[in-house]
A and B are shown apart, each in its own frame.
Chain A
Amino acid sequence: MGTLFARGLGAVLLSAVILATATVATPASAEMVINRGFGSSPDTLDPHLNFGAREGWIQDDMYEGLVASDAKAEIGPGAAEKWEVSDDGLTWTFHLRDGLKWSNGDPLVAQDFVNGVIRQLDPKTASPRAYYYYSTVKVAGAAEFNEAEGGDPKSVGISAPDEKTVVIKLLAPQPNMLYLMGSYHIPPLHTPSFEKVGGDFIKPENIVNNGPYMMKENVPQSHVTLVKNPNYWDAANVKADKVVYHVTEDDQTELKRFKAGELHVTNEVPSDQLEQLKKEYGEQLRITTYVEAQYLSFNITKAPFDDIRVRKALAYAIDRDVLQNKILKAGYQPNCGYSPPNDPRYPQPHVEECDMPKEERIAKAKALLQEAGFGPDKPLKVTIDSTTDNTAKRQAEGVALMWKQIGVDAKVNAQEFQAWMDTFYNGGWEVLNDNLVADMPGPESHVVYMQPSAESGYNWKNDDYEAAMEKASQQSDIAERYKYLAEAEKILLDYYLTVPLNVTTSRHLVSPKLKGWEDNMLDVHPSKYMWIEG
């Protein structure tokens, strides 16, 4: 009995030891998982339809373009190992790496990249991003092909002369071409899966892709799970086995999940708690200037906003520092130009009131209003149309407050996003609380956007602006190009079609366990460069 008991005890102890070793051994062999907060559920992960920057994170992990962003959002070789551009800046030739494969082992060839662009441009695809190949970057024949069904794909200026070469022909030089081709902007198409299942090729059970990761699960409103792609050319340097993008619609919950260690990085940080979180988290809170500018736009087709004195007076009344640092407190930077100032090579023009002392600004604003026929007995009435987004609304209310100080009867009309858009297109608005996110660093996305050809909603046509933009688009030298872009931006600012307010920030909480994360202004963070330690 005694021995039996001892033997039993021995067995229990032994199994306990085995169990203990097993538990100790698990972490070493456990897979490395990165948990990333994603905000609301992705709209689409179809690489040729996607328009969203957040969806772009997943896309950067799943697809590799001809060139690709590194952790600092700098563009370098991707599927192409080298490239050259012709002297006139119109022909770009990309040379693919040797032995590239799709995730299922199929060879990845130059024609796959051509097919990707053609699918995006095909009117039947109805891709909201098709414009991409005929706005800032102007691929020959792209606009015509997109605008009418039944066009010949060969008429588009992208071709694959052999299995390893992609040639892109442009209508105008574009020195920022690599930024526009970078990352998820030019994903290849796995033609056999597309022919078999159509748009359903993006479903986890069908997916064949060429990036560092493959999709394993896509559960709407819950998560997207990616696993390492063994057929990726640089798989040896991909550290994490798995990346999970968690849908985190509520930023307060996301913050709590980060605190509980369920997330390594958040998509957002509640903007009204920045100061407190800075104290609590120090280095883990990352606030980085983003390529988005916020500004007010005037409806120049509507009196009295057709009068430049009225527009100027309203612009003069705004104190950008007070608005950003005392009212908004979201970490945004005041901006005196239309485009976000993030390229030191660009001589950004400023609105004149930026350098004026407050008293002078206010005095001039009042004088201008009086000249335009407004005064205490006949106050100017203004409505600012804003979205219901908390920060946007607060900003509009701050502006309205400043306008009240010069005797303007200002109010804010906050509407949900789609209704706000409708107001803009129907032309019923007076002042729009407006914003634009750039596709690349530098001023060009913004300045191009204000060309009437790119955006009709502002009803603005200016020959000098068009002329400067036309000149800019012919320059392949970046300094020359910037000179004309600055000229155009100056015309825009002097016209007071818009009033610059700020440049926004991207905000994340990054766990000290997550290594390889680099803050950058494009807010691009390929998982390929990240790993977990500790």
Chain B
Amino acid sequence: MLAFSIRRIIGAIPTLFVLIAISFFVMRLAPGGPFSANRKLTEAIIANLNKAYHLDEPVWMQFGRYLWGLLHFDFGPSMKYRDFSVTELIVHGFPVSLEVGFWAMILATVVGIALGIAGALRRNGATDFSAGAIAMIGIAIPTFVIGPLLQIFFGLKLGWLPVAGWDGSLNAKILPIVVLALPNIAYISRLTRGSMIETLRTNYVRTARAKGIGARRVIWKQALTGAMLPVVAYLGPATAITVTGSVIVEQIFGIPGIGRYFVEGAANRDYPLVMGVTILYGGIVILANIVTDVARGIIDPKVSYE
């Protein structure tokens, strides 16, 4: 398993390189540059800025310079937020996104699986329908609607939680975590339910039941393990997306994470910032996929590491 993981990590290096190269060149195809923000800039000033950020060099030379920097863990300066380097922005923002995303995924996994099992065991009963209804709401109502609604209810009407802001207190974290977890709860519960129903019909579960193993044990030991396979496959990429932050949730709740940098960095043509978050995101997706594969190997005896 260790050898497998190491092989996969080494195999990820060319993938990352291709990702870096494609993002670097494609980004520069977009019209406008980082400093076309103020029309009042004279040519001399634009020349000064381009020179300071080496934008006056040929693109391949800029690419070489960028790769060289990356080897030294230097993501370059942010062109929009000139007081910070991209590394500093990520060091400030990523732990916040990671924290919110991590707890949102824990919440989503626990609640989602519980709802899914409840639905599968009491199929077409009241529990199943209400779990289904919650799931549909979670999928159908976008976060930019549910977020402000929760702000109005818990922040303004009840006054229990702050509307927005990030002061490090637990209270400030509750709403964003819940909002981020909701769509995931929905998907996970639906996946669990479907896969659980299917697993309960399989031969090995029937055999286990026929051998006289108690219903509870069959469900928790035998069926659930099997039913978790599609859920685990979903959890990998979903976790990668969630821990790198959501631009909508971060803007609505004023969370200083990195989710907004994808959108803002691109809109401002802040090339180093977009590169930085793309590489981080790419790295996390690759890592999540490796973890998922390892986890599947543990759950599913049919998967081999060879």
Contacts and interface: CB of A to CB of B under 8 A. Distances in A.
B252 A253 contact: yes
Given A43-B82, A418-B268, A457-B39, A221 B256 contact: yes
Interface stretch (B3-11, B155-163, B285-293, B298-306): B155-163
A128 interface: yes
Contact of A418 (B33, B89, B254): B33
B45 interface: yes
A216 interface: no
B49 A128 contact: yes
A203 B49 CA distance: 21
A139 to B, nearest CB: 15
B37 A262 contact: no
A455 B40 CA distance: 7
Contacts of B267: 416-418
Given A131-B42, A202-B83, A219-B256, A250 B251 contact: yes
Contact of A44 (B30, B48, B81, B250): B81
Contacts of B256: 219-222, 247
A242 to B, nearest CB: 14
Interface in B155-186: 155-156, 159, 162-166
B165 A256 contact: no
Contact of B83 (A46, A249, A424): A46
A246 B31 CA distance: 32
A449 B92 contact: no
A83 interface: no
Q: Which of A42, A218, A422 has the most C-beta atoms of chain B within 10 angstroms of its own C-beta? A: A422
B81 A43 contact: yes
Interface residues of A, number: 56
B15 interface: no
A417 B268 CA distance: 8
A490 to B, nearest CB: 23
B155 to A, nearest CB: 5
B189 interface: no
B89 to A, nearest CB: 6
Contacts of B89: 220
Nearest to A449: B40
Contacts of A123: 44, 48, 51
Contacts of A43: 80-82
A455 B39 contact: yes
A257 B49 contact: no
B32 interface: yes
Contacts of A424: 39
A370 B49 CA distance: 48
A414 to B, nearest CB: 14
A274 B104 CA distance: 36
Given A41-B81, A256-B155, A130 B45 contact: yes
Nearest to A445: B40
Contacts, number: 150
Contact of A417 (B35, B37, B148, B163): B37
Contact of B35 (A42, A128, A246, A256): A128
B166 A256 contact: no
A436 to B, nearest CB: 8
A221 B41 contact: no
A262 B84 contact: no
A425 B155 contact: no
Contacts of B165: 222-223, 246, 257, 262
Interface in B32-90: 32-33, 35-45, 48-49, 51-53, 80-84, 88-89
The winner among B41, B48, B88, B148 for most chain A CB atoms within 10 A is: B48
B56 to A, nearest CB: 12
A421 B39 contact: yes
Nearest to B159: A260
B269 A418 contact: yes
B83 A124 contact: no
A455 B39 CA distance: 8
Contacts of A220: 81, 84, 88-89, 92-93, 256
Contact of B52 (A51, A124, A202): A124
A419 B36 CA distance: 9
Nearest to A126: B52
B97 to A, nearest CB: 10
A130 B42 CA distance: 9
A247 B254 contact: yes
Given A221-B93, A421-B32, A425-B36, 17 more contacts: A45-B83, A126-B53, A127-B48, A218-B83, A219-B256, A220-B89, A222-B165, A223-B165, A250-B254, A253-B252, A256-B151, A259-B163, A260-B156, A262-B163, A418-B33, A421-B36, A422-B32
16 contacts: A46-B82, A46-B83, A125-B48, A130-B45, A130-B48, A131-B40, A131-B45, A221-B260, A249-B260, A252-B148, A256-B151, A418-B37, A418-B268, A421-B32, A425-B36, A449-B40
